[in-house]
Amino acid sequence: MKNTKNYKTLEKIVSLCKRRGFVFPSSEIYGGFAAVYDYGPYGIELKNNLARAWWKEIVQKREDVVGLDSGIFMHPTTWKASGHLDGFDDPQIDCKDCKVRIRADHMLEEFHINADKMKAEDINKEIEKLKEKNIEFKCKNCGSKNLTPAKNFSLIVKSNLGSPTDALSEDNVVYLRPETCGGIYLNYKNILDSTRVKIPFGIAQIGKAFRNEIVARQFIFRTREFEQMEMQYFLRPSMMQEKYNEWKKIRWDWYITYGIKEENLKWLKHEKLAHYAAEAYDIEYNFPWDFDELEGIHQRGDWDLSQHQKFSGAKLDYTDPITNEKYIPHIMETSVGLNRMLLAFMCEAYTEENVNGEIRIILKFDKRLAPIKIAVFPLLKNKPELVKKAREIYDNLKEEYMCEFDDNGNIGKRYRRQDEIGTPYCVTVDFDSLEKNDVTIRDRDTMKQERIKIEKLGKWIKENLF
């Protein structure tokens, strides 16, 4: 049994996701809908398990972080105050011949120019410099030189709410939140007034965010609708560096704890910062194409609360209960896309092994993350006594764990299917089970099988699963 090298291609991951019901392209029967994906029966289990594991670390295990679930629609001024309406855009270039729209900063990357966070005006200056050096600047799609100058393109998704008659009035414009943290800032005062939190403390939330990405790419890595898991930590400015380092370590270690190999993670310090950030690091993951952003950990200073105080007129300062000192708390955040995280864990878990000349595909998830924990099989489906016993076991286990009952096809095929969705244990009821009241339990990673008495199965699983 040996691993074949360099086999983790994005194509294989995408294909497995579809074939085994993790992720489907949206609206396929209508020809598809770009940059949106749906999560199938195993995808939603994995997503829920990841979200729960994140929540456990960030909220459940901590006395200083509380949870929130705020609305997607918010008062439109929120996004004026946050700077998103004026500054949250990507530079785009259109090809006048083939009509393809391209991220201008990505086009410059090909000339080894780091245009990350560059505005259209600066990008156009860089393009002029290339042209002066007689370097050809062409459409990536059709090779035409007939391109528009770079323009800034807002990423914020706009909609209208209200009655049909006035739906197009500017007064009814609303925005789909481009990041979940906006709802946290607007509830900071509510949480301070209704709970016992004191600075330093954090507020965490998981929810949908929307961005009109010019180029959605790499499967679920960058999509127009996605879920974010964000934690905003409110603190006194003097605490910032200590807490920032603490949270960087917490988030790095979390990935290792749940099975990401340290060699597949890397820190990237941002040289050019978002409009709100004072310091920013990304945790990058070694995706099949290269290391790329997985999670951002940002110091946001007092930007958010100061801006919301200014635009709303509400007092958002904090009074220290001991010294009575008043100040606007500073904020550091951890922010990750749940869908992007799912892709990273899929890539990490994807394993091919050569078993007697055949490729065995396994998703070697940490057992806590596996969508299905145990599959229960009767050896033969046409033997009612085997089916009955297997059903009894399944009915018992499903009270506590996400389980599957499978009596379809030969045992080898059933094992392969469970390997491909990452099920840690398969329990088989055979003829010996009827006499000896025991079952075979087979381990996903080692393929080793052992016999266990049925009355000891629950205890065995509890000890081995968690």
Binding site for ligand GAP (CB under 6 A): 179, 181, 211, 213, 222-223, 226, 228, 230, 293-296, 333, 335-337, 339-340
Which of 215, 221, 282, 216 shows the shortest CA–CA distance to 10?
Answer: 221
CA diameter of the chain: 86
Alpha-carbon gap, residue 377 to 442, rounded angstroms: 11
Classify the phi-psi angles of 331: left when phi > 0, otherwise alpha if psi is within -120 to 50, otherwise beta: beta
Q: How far is the CB of 440 from ligand GAP (least distance, A)?
A: 41
Which of 141, 110, 143 shows the shortest CA–CA distance to 127?
Answer: 110
Q: How far is the CB of 35 from ligand GAP (least distance, A)?
A: 8
Q: Between residues 95 and 206, which has the closer beta carbon with respect to ligand GAP?
A: 206
Residue 367: CB partners within 8 Å, gap ≥ 6? 373, 424, 464, 465, 466
Q: Between residues 222 and 389, which has the closer beta carbon with respect to ligand GAP?
A: 222
Q: How far is the CB of 224 from ligand GAP (least distance, A)?
A: 7
Q: How far is the CB of 188 from ligand GAP (least distance, A)?
A: 15
Alpha-carbon gap, residue 48 to 369, rounded angstroms: 9
Which amino acid, residue 156?
A: I
Tokens of residue 243, six digits:
């807490």
Q: How far is the CB of 223 from ligand GAP (least distance, A)?
A: 5
Q: How far is the CB of 283 from ligand GAP (least distance, A)?
A: 8
Q: What are phi and psi of 340, to 5 degrees?
A: -65, -35
Q: How far is the CB of 226 from ligand GAP (least distance, A)?
A: 4
Q: How far is the CB of 285 from ligand GAP (least distance, A)?
A: 10
Which residue's entry shows tokens 């330093």?
A: 200
Q: Between residues 108 and 216, which has the closer beta carbon with respect to ligand GAP?
A: 216
Q: What are phi and psi of 358, to 5 degrees?
A: -115, 145
For residue 116, how far is the Cα from the chain centroid?
A: 22
Alpha-carbon gap, residue 422 to 85, rounded angstroms: 43
Q: Between residues 49 and 339, which has the closer beta carbon with respect to ligand GAP?
A: 339
Q: What are phi and psi of 273, to 5 degrees?
A: -105, 150
Q: Between residues 295 and 419, which has the closer beta carbon with respect to ligand GAP?
A: 295
Q: How far is the CB of 293 from ligand GAP (least distance, A)?
A: 5
Apex 68 CA angle, 230 and 267, nearest 5: 10
Q: Between residues 200 and 337, which has the closer beta carbon with respect to ligand GAP?
A: 337
Q: Between residues 213 and 407, which has the closer beta carbon with respect to ligand GAP?
A: 213
Alpha-carbon gap, residue 71 to 180, rounded angstroms: 9
Q: Which residue is nearest to ligand GAP (CB)?
A: 337
Q: Between residues 80 and 391, which has the closer beta carbon with respect to ligand GAP?
A: 80
Q: Between residues 332 and 427, which has the closer beta carbon with respect to ligand GAP?
A: 332
Residue 440: CB partners within 8 Å, gap ≥ 6? 427, 428, 430, 449, 450, 451
